[in-house]
Amino acid sequence: MSPIMQQFREIETCIECSASRHIQVPEVFYYAQKAVLHPTAPLFDQESQTLKPRCVRALKRIFILCDHDRDGALSDAELNDFQVKCFNAPLQPSEIVGVKKVVQEKLSEGVNERGLTLTGFLFLHALFIEKGRLETTWTVLRKFGYNDDIKLADDLIPPVKRAPDQSVELTNEALDFLKAIFDAFDGDGDGMLRPRELEELFSTAPESPWTGVPYEDAAEKNAFGGLSLDAFLSEWALMTLLNPTFSVENLIYIGYPGDPSSAIRVTRRRRLDRKKQQSDRNVLQCYVFGPRKAGKSALLNSFIGRPYSESYNPTTEDRYAVNVVDISMENKKYLVLREIPEDGVRKLLSNKESLASCDIAVFVHDRFDESSWRTSSELLVEIASHGEDTGFEVPCLIVAAKDDLDSFPMAIQESTRVSQDMGVEAPIPISVKLGDFNSMFRRIVTAAEHPHLSIPETEAGRSRKQYHRLINRSLMAVSGMPVLG
């Protein structure tokens, strides 16, 4: 049996049995049950004989939660509290001494004058697993809310209920916590979280939540890949907007001390914002439409501090960029730009509620290229029509990119006609290449804050409104007629 288990490390147990002779039949069912209830694979890498990364990160979080005085070690009292919480039985003083002695003999840095260190705590669990006592580690993980995937169980994360045109934001309580966390992990005090510091911050989560799309390249970074406080909070704003449950889950992982439901708030419905002619959101989402090569990606790159590049790399999937926009000393908003490729518009509009989460839409065109303008204006009509049909109308702005180039003939007349016909502002000229943005990002935020303005109106929409007004007048006239008889 031993050679087989040495060759195939994934085999947890080998046992000889015989049903006809009743040899070790109960043991077969015992080990089968154990393999299901307390599996080795999520916790331990048999090849390297080490704890798996996700297990290490979960145990580190548990250690920190039990280290009440935050001195980096579990004292005898803290060890006893841990034992009672997990196993409903205290440790005798002699047992505590015995545990620390076992660790110290194998790993000198596992114990110090203050108690059992994180290294020692992890060593203990690796030892339990090596000796086949997986139920010990699984009991600890489950007592602290972890499921079989070594992630927090769903019932520990409050559900978020909202209408399609409502969004979710972090509360001031959560933002204050994140600011304190930022300062705590900014080890060199330079006002930036470098990748190493950010990895340490998320070292108690199953993995860093900002690896890969849409978060990895969404915020402004310095030359070393570091995030300022504004960029750090911008990433959290984006994650909370796109996936509030995931955001709350990660707040819990990094030590948010309050009730998880106190970390987020659901905003007022956008439909009501339009009626009240004002938005109270702190996080605003702007959809960026336009044809290929219009300058959408360049716009997003400039928003997060990236240098202008002449090379063209087509965007094939939706992409996000987020940053802080200062309107005034007291008014600071998080603006999320969502770039939608030209080929992605049809897919977007196949969902009736696709514009429900949009606070404002921007239509970019290359002012040098007449076909670019034509496509952009067609997209404007298409989006406006979709908003009218679904009831999710959004303010819209037109952006004339590449202002460093001459405009095509009749550009002013054409843009004036479309702006007047649809009831939106004249195009905002910008040049990403020259760094001239004409206060565009502030203008986007200001328009989003007043959602009753800048809403385009199509010919079909105007006709529909006139028809409804005519019907209403007719009904009022009928209701005011005297009754004969």
* Per-residue tokens: 75: 């004292």
pLDDT given at position 75? 97
pLDDT given at position 470? 65
User: How do residues 373-385 score in pLDDT, each as one tens digit?
Assistant: 999 999 999 999 9
pLDDT given at position 2? 64
CA distances from 31 to 28, 36, 87, 135 (A): 5, 9, 22, 12
What is the C-alpha to C-alpha distance for residues 394 and 456, in angstroms, rounded to an integer? Answer: 8
Q: Are residues 385 and 461 in contact, defined by beta-carbon separation less than 8 angstroms?
A: yes
pLDDT given at position 4? 64
pLDDT given at position 408? 87
pLDDT given at position 466? 64
pLDDT given at position 120? 97
Give the residues of the chain that fall short of pLDDT 50: 485
pLDDT given at position 412? 84
pLDDT given at position 197? 97
Beta partners for 326? Answer: 332
pLDDT given at position 484? 52
pLDDT given at position 482? 61
pLDDT given at position 191? 96
Give this prediction's pTM: 0.89
Count the Cβ atoms, other than its own, within 10 Å of residue 225: 12
